[in-house]
Amino acid sequence: MSQGNQPVVAMLSPAEMELIRLLREPSTSPVRARVKTVVEGLLMAAKEPFCPEKPCPQAPGECERCSQTMRVLEGLEAMEMQIKGLPGA
């Protein structure tokens, strides 16, 4: 059954509400549009990992594709820390 554009009632945290608001706003710059695309891709990966075999035939996160995805995510986390100027970046 498809939800389409029907209203959804859910209790969301302030951070979740902010994420939804940011994803729905029109992109005002090329950087913002690119970030929005990456975030949407990350959300899809969280829902359905990129492992070509579903479910992953190995323990979660141990196949080469899952390991590669985890390295990319670690790189994004390090970049976020660097942008924020946090120690350990």
Mean pLDDT of 26-43: 85
Q: Is 19 exposed, middle or buried (0-12, 13-18, 19+ CB in 10 A)?
A: middle
The tokens of 8 are what?
Answer: 């959804």
Mean pLDDT of 19-40: 86
Task: Compare 57 and 16 and report the one with higher pLDDT.
Answer: 16
What DSSP designation does 11 have? -
Say how far apart CA 68 and CA 74 lie, in whole Å: 10
pLDDT of residue 34: 87
pLDDT of residue 4: 66
Contact 50, 69 (CB under 8 A): yes
Mean pLDDT of 54-80: 79
pLDDT of residue 1: 47
Say how far apart CA 8 and CA 26 lie, in whole Å: 21
